Copies of this chain bind each other. A is one copy, B any other.
Amino acid sequence: MKLLEEKIRKDGKVFEGNILKVDSFVNHQIDVKFMNEIGKEFKRLFENEEVTKILTIEASGIGIACIVAQYFDVPVLFAKKAKTVNIAGDVYTSKVESFTHKRVYDIIVSKEFLHAGDKVLIIDDFLAQGSALCGLIKLIKDANATVVGAGIVIEKAYQAGGKLVRDMGVRVESLAKIQSMSPNGTIEFVD
């Protein structure tokens, strides 16, 4: 998506340690008008799929997922990072490793909101190692629901996650695929 690549080049900031900050429009401040363009693009890409639910993960996926969901006319479900072991009610759980925060945490969704027969589109802001995406896929499979695919805003294509998930047979559509980036500000995208 050219518009997104231009926006990342213009407003993204690259820092040492493989960090791309897009917090002016994606994951701290959210450019809601721009997110509507993202929503239209995901709708175009997945328009032949029947989608009954959009699944994302807190926190930065939620805003994007809600805007995208308007184009599919379905509810959003966001996986929560479990804060306590004592969760009321029945939940599906999986483990996600955060490389940014260097820890493993449990994510949960209530069984009440994910059912066999659901056709689930996953939406998230970033795909790098793929840990969050694999965790979300596991939740969907545990519910005997169907993974329609994953719509990712920015994929770090030089990391392992994209191949890992596509090799599982899951359709992954990333609107911007970064081939390389460096702290001097150079960002190269996959053609």
Binding site for B on A (CB under 8 A): 15, 23-25, 28-33, 35-36, 58-59, 62-63, 65-67, 69-70, 73-78, 80, 83-84, 88, 101, 109-110, 112-113
CB < 8 Å neighbour of A32 from B66, B80, B88, B113: B66
Contacts of A83 in B (CB 8 A): 101
Q: Are A77 and B29 in contact (CB under 8 A)?
A: yes
* 27 examples of A-B residue contacts, CB within 8 angstroms: A23-B110, A24-B112, A24-B113, A28-B78, A28-B109, A28-B110, A29-B77, A29-B113, A30-B75, A30-B76, A30-B77, A32-B66, A32-B69, A32-B74, A33-B73, A58-B58, A59-B59, A59-B62, A59-B78, A59-B80, A62-B62, A62-B63, A63-B63, A63-B65, A63-B76, A66-B66, A67-B70
Contacts of A29 in B (CB 8 A): 75-77, 110, 113
Chain B residue with minimal CB distance to A68?
A: B32
Chain B residue with minimal CB distance to A98?
A: B83
CB < 8 Å neighbour of A66 from B67, B77, B101: B67
Contacts of A35 in B (CB 8 A): 66
- A50 → chain B closest CB, angstroms: 17
Q: Are A28 and B80 in contact (CB under 8 A)?
A: yes
Given A30-B69, A59-B62, 19 other A-B contacts at CB below 8 A? A23-B113, A24-B112, A28-B109, A28-B113, A29-B75, A29-B76, A29-B113, A30-B62, A30-B66, A30-B75, A30-B77, A30-B78, A33-B73, A35-B66, A59-B59, A62-B63, A63-B63, A67-B70, A83-B101
